Amino acid sequence: MSEGGESCSSSVRVRSEDLKGTTIPVLGAGLSGQAVADLLRSKGLVPQLFDEKVSGANAVFLPRRGEYSFGVISPGFPPSHPWRRLAEASGLPLLGEMEFAHSAWAGELLCVTGTNGKTTLTTLLEQALNRNGETAVACGNIGTPLSSCALESPQREWAAAEVSSFQLHDWAQPSGDVAFWTNFAEDHLDWHSSMRDYFEAKWRLVASGIPVYAEQEVGFHAKQFGFAVPDNLILVNCGEGFAIERGLFAVEPYARLYRLAQSWWTDSGRDPGRLKESALEFQPLSHRCETIAEGHGRRFVNDSKATNFHAALAACESVSGPIAWIGGGLSKGGDLARFARAIAGRIATADLIGGTADELSFLLEQEGVPVVIHGGLDAAVRSAFRRSGEGGTILFSPGFASFDQFSGYADRGEVYRRVVLELLNPR
């Protein structure tokens, strides 16, 4: 069902000749909104962009009943946004960008969702498919909207799409050829109403009936939430079995992603050597457990992409030596006390920044962790360096969103990189 409460098939609507020349509202004028506007124009429709923050877009959205056939919504609008309520009140069906784009995509679609590891797995599969002689493009939440890929001529054979829970929330009946669900842990509770709501958004891929390869923990959570595990949910024991001998995917948590990809790759009859070659040559992505430098007997790791508890805990498990942890940021909801107890046993010290610093400091100190709060990342890095010893790791894996002090996780990671290099190479 659409957000407006009525069934809406994008494939039917987009191909209907009688809609040509009609105006279609697009909520959100960012990257995905602009891409879907271009796709609408290619179909002979007239996009009308609405966005309160982007210059040139309409800042007021007041749809009248019957004014539009349907609208397209970008993933940045939470369920509580007033524009959603206005659309529902006017009977306006809202399609997610992914659903609309897929109606114009002629190739195969591979979807990757999960709390963490989505971008790395999506990129690995894209590279492996291309190495296997199949043309593939990584898209979706990874950066390039599927709408942009649908406009390419000729289109690739495969779209490897990273799909967030926000995107799945607005894709009433997902479709595709195969999907991967990397893991499930507490996240986005500032957007979703509960853990169950967050899980249900991702479960839509399973409910669609397409093959979904998932870690076994997904099946555990499904049973907790009262879902029967269907045959199309293929649960993979990612904690055991074959792993490659070197490179990023030889260590956890990345080895689990490789095992997940390997399960489908083998089932599909593809040459396992091509997947292994891609994994061995894979270059770690920026801001994901990335070693920035080693100096003064210490290793400096940038994991700015860790915007949730699960990612920060996994990062702690992946590095060696005593950990001087730099964390904190903007809260996304979740059980902060439980996170503090979990990470306290993994770190030697904590230097905290951002909106969660005060509360997190109190909780960590209760667990016996020496804590210092800082007004900015520069001071936190320098403090972590002074308080750490040789043989240790200074780990920047915040565990929270970045928007209280930065424009995004990439901006945050680049600041960390700059401060580390200045610290090790003073002028």
- The answer on 260 and 390 residing in a single domain is no
Distance CA 304, CA 398 (A): 6
Q: Is the residue at 205 inside a domain?
A: yes
Residue 373 lies in domain: 290-424
Residue 302's pLDDT is 97
- Tokens 């040789």 belong to which residue? 390
The model's pLDDT over 246-303, given as tens digits with 9 standing for 90+, comes to: 999 998 889 999 999 999 999 999 999 999 999 999 998 899 999 999 999 999 999 9
Q: Is the residue at 5 inside a domain?
A: no
Residue 242's pLDDT is 67
Examine the fold and report which residue of 99, 128, 145 is the final residue of a domain before the chain moves on: 99
- CATH number of the domain encompassing residue 48: 3.40.50.720
Q: Is the residue at 2 inside a domain?
A: no
- The answer on 170 and 91 residing in a single domain is no
- The answer on 262 and 379 residing in a single domain is no
Distance CA 195, CA 330 (A): 19
Q: Is the residue at 4 inside a domain?
A: no
- CATH number of the domain encompassing residue 373: 3.90.190.20
Q: What is the pTM of this model?
A: 0.88
- The answer on 295 and 267 residing in a single domain is no
The model's pLDDT over 140-189, given as tens digits with 9 standing for 90+, comes to: 999 899 999 999 999 999 999 999 999 999 998 899 999 999 999 999 98
- The answer on 277 and 160 residing in a single domain is yes
Examine the fold and report which residue of 281, 309, 327 is the final residue of a domain before the chain moves on: 281
Tally of structural domains, the chain: 3
